[in-house]
Structure 1
C-alpha cells in the first residue's frame, strides 16, 4: 500500500511482508520491528498487540479496496456494468496488492475471534456488491437471488481464484482472470434473453 516513508509506513510494509511470508501465528513483533528497522517499542507505541496491528492492516486494505471500487461505480451505469466494474477492480486490486491479498485470504480463517473481526471488516465491501445485486434484481436484469449470498459468493469466487494463482506462484494475468470470472459471474446472475 502506498504511504509516505514515515515510521508508520515502514511498520505497515514490514508487517505486510512478515505476515505474508510467515503467517500470522509465526510472525512476531520482533520480526516486524527488525524488518521495519525500528525499535519494537515504536510498534507498541501505535499498536497494543500483533493482533491489533493485523486487524488494522486488514481494515485499511479492505477500505482501500472498497474506496477504489466505489470510485469507479457511476450512477449512470446499469447493474451489469457495475458488477463488471466490481469483478475487474477486485481482481486488479489483488494483483496490485499481492501480499495483502495473501494475508487477507490466508489469515482470515484463523481463530474464531479473528474470523468475526474479519467478517465485520469485509462486510462494508460485500454490502457494495449486495447493493448492485439488489439493483439488478429490481431492474429485472438479474435472477431473484439472496443478495447477501450472491455478494459473498462473488467476493469469495474472485478472492479464492486470485489466491490460488498467487500462492501457486503463477503469472497473475489480470485480464485473463477477469474474462474467466466475468463469464462465471454472469452465467449465474444474468437472465438469458
Structure 2
C-alpha cells in the first residue's frame, strides 16, 4: 500500500528539518526527500514556516492525545504524574527527530517562539491540572502549578535531547527512574525532608 502524499511530505519534512535545521532546510530538499513535486507541497502549505509549524502542532497534539488517552479518573495524582513523565519520555524516544526539531528550533525567530509556546502550553495545561489536583488532595506540596508544569516539561525534554544529540542509546526506563526521582522527591509530602 502506498503512503499518501501528505504522510510522505510530513516524514520528509521531519527528516530534513531534523538533519539541517529550519534555516538551512529548503522546500526543494523536502520535495526531493518525499519524491514529490515542490508544487505539491505548496498546494498544502504556503511556506516553509507554515509547514514547520504544522509539524510542531501535530507532534504536540500527538503527545497530548497519547497522554490524555491513558489518564484514568481513578488514578491518584501521583500515578497520573508518573504516567505523564513516562509517556513524555517514551514519546521522545519513539519520535526522536521530532524531539530534536521541537527543542532545537524552539529558540528560532520570535514569531516562531510565540507559536511554539502556544502549542506547548496546551500540553502543559494537562500537567498543571494534575498538579492542582495533587495539591487539592494534599498529596503534593503547595506549589505554583504553571512553574511545575513548565519545569517538568523542560527537565524531561532537555534530558531526552541531551541523550539523543549525544548519540547515546536511549534508555527510556533509566531516564524515567531519574526523572521520577527528581520529580517526586520534591513534590510528595510523605517522607519529606525538613528544609
The TM-score normalised by the length of structure 1 is 0.97
> Which among 28, 33, 36 is matched to residue 35 of structure 1?
33
Mind listing any 5+ residue stretches in structure 1 that lack a counterpart? none
Q: Distance in 2 between matches of 1:15 and 1:190?
A: 42
* Aligned position for 1:45: 43
Deviation at 1:5, TM superposition (A): 1.0
Q: Counterparts of 1:49-64 in structure 2 under 5 Å? A: 49-64=47-62
1:179 pairs with 2:177: yes
Deviation at 1:12, TM superposition (A): 0.3
Length, aligned pairs only: 190
Mind listing any 5+ residue stretches in structure 2 that lack a counterpart? none
1:77 pairs with 2:89: no
* Aligned position for 1:6: 4
SS in 2 for 1:85: helix
> Which among 117, 133, 136 is matched to residue 135 of structure 1?
133
Q: Distance in 2 between matches of 1:41 and 1:191?
A: 58
Deviation at 1:133, TM superposition (A): 0.3
RMSD value, Cα? 0.8
Deviations 1:123-180 (A, max 9, x none): 1100000000000000001111100000000000000000000000000000000000
* Aligned position for 1:166: 164
Q: Distance in 1 between matches of 2:112 and 2:171?
A: 31
> Which among 141, 144, 147 is matched to residue 145 of structure 2?
147
Q: Distance in 1 between matches of 2:188 and 2:74?
A: 19
Q: Distance in 2 between matches of 1:24 and 1:118?
A: 14
List 4+ stretches of structure 1 deviating above 6 A: none
1:189 pairs with 2:187: yes
> Which among 14, 17, 22 is matched to residue 15 of structure 2?
17
